[in-house]
Amino acid sequence: MTENAISNAVAVRDNGPAAQIEQYRDEYAALVPSHVNADQWIRLAVGAIRGSKDLMEAAQTDVGVFLRELKTAARLGLEPGTEQFYLTPRKSKAHRGQKIIKGIVGYQGIVELIYRAGAVSSVIVEVVRTNDTFRYIIGRDGKPVHEIDWFGEDRGEMVGVYAYAIMKDGATSKVVALNRRQVMEAKAKSDGRNSEYSPWNTNEESMWLKTAVRRLAKWVPTSAEYMREQLRAQAEVAGELAAAPSAASVPAMPQPTALDDADPDDEGPLEGELVD
């Protein structure tokens, strides 16, 4: 390797995406929620980009876009480069077909946001396969009955997915159940579905799970603001709470969530310019 080549390599290393993360360490540390270890979050972000040649090249195309995607992960308090928050290379017309980084909230990230709000004790999200037994009748069954032969040789193809939460007072949330057609309709809205790096192609089952839990998120709290509101309400009406029904027992209405801006249902094109 020539002296110039070595100098160029060092320059790329010192000013590349990983170095930029370190440079903005304080900004990311200020964004992550208080329960998240900022140093560990930084290490995950740096490790994700250094551990994949494809991600490194895509991040180098536009480091600014990459850093903004990490900002979304930091604001949500999700681990970048994991099933909480995928980092995927996507082609961009704005960059003449070169790949840039797109962040995608994974199903584990949505589950984490639901738990973090403090209203639920457990979240159940599972795929149903052809050799499983699944029973659920709205109005009769409080929750689905899903029987799996764990020791069978083959559970078969995925035919559906469901998700629900058990609230802290024991009530069951709305049950979300989707068949294959409905999951495929959700997939069809994803502009990155045909990319070899899309989770739809690298981890399809996780995207089935995400499709269900993403819809569940509209029926259960996903923000710490919920807990603050609960505490504020308790302080205001402390003398009346004993006679009032639990808020978690009242059927919820669909609500906007932190995901609506950070991760729209169709995983819309970054800057409106994604192509594959």
Residues 101 and 196 in one domain: no
Is residue 104 domain-shared with residue 215, that is, in the same domain?
no
Spatial CB neighbours of 5, under 8 Å, sequence gap ≥ 6: none
Mean pLDDT of 33-48: 94
| pLDDT at residue 244 tops 50 | no
Burial group, residue 40, by CB count within 10 angstroms (0-12, 13-18, 19+): exposed
Q: Which pTM was predicted?
A: 0.76
- The mean pLDDT of the chain is 82
56 plus 163 within the same structural domain? no
More confident residue, 137 or 7: 137
Task: Give me the domain span that covers residue 166.
Answer: 109-224+251-260
- Please give the torsion angle defined by the CA atoms of residues 127, 162, 226 and 37, in that order, rounded to the nearest 10 degrees: 0
Q: Is residue 170 situated within a structural domain?
A: yes
Rounded mean pLDDT, 218-228? 72
Q: Are residues 99 and 146 in the same domain?
A: no
Instruction: Please tell me the predicted confidence (pLDDT) of residue 262.
Output: 60
Q: 77 with 127, same domain?
A: no
Based on the structure, what is the number of domains in the chain? 2
In the predicted model, is pLDDT for residue 267 greater than 90? no
pLDDT greater than 50 at residue 202: yes
Q: Do both 132 and 216 map to the same domain?
A: yes
> Who contacts 201 (Cβ-Cβ below 8 Å, separation ≥6)?
193, 194, 195
User: Does residue 131 form part of some domain?
Assistant: yes
Same domain, yes or no, for 70 and 53?
yes
Q: How far apart are CA 228 and CA 25, in angstroms?
A: 28
Residue 172 lies in a domain: yes
pLDDT category at 228 given cuts 50, 70, 90 is low
**Do the domain assignments include residue 151?**
yes
pLDDT of 227 reads 55
| Same-domain check for residues 54 and 91 | yes
> Would residue 234 count as lying in a domain?
no
Least confident of 1-15, 103-117, 141-155, 211-225: 1-15
Average pLDDT, integer, range 19-38: 93
Q: Which residue has the higher pLDDT, 224 or 123?
A: 123
Are 74 and 32 contacting, i.e. CB atoms less than 8 angstroms apart? yes
Asked whether residue 239 carries a pLDDT value surpassing 50, the answer given is: yes
Least confidently predicted of 162-171, 213-222, 229-238 = 229-238
Query: In terms of domains, do 80 and 171 share one?
Result: no
Q: Are residues 174 and 128 in the same domain?
A: yes
Regarding whether 39 and 103 lie in a shared domain, the answer is: yes
Categorize the per-residue pLDDT at 176 as very low, low, confident or very high, splitting at 50, 70 and 90: very high
Q: Which among 155, 164, 107 has a CA at the least distance from the CA of 128?
A: 155
- pLDDT, one tens digit per residue, over 105-156 is 999 999 999 999 989 999 999 999 999 999 999 988 899 999 999 998 899 9
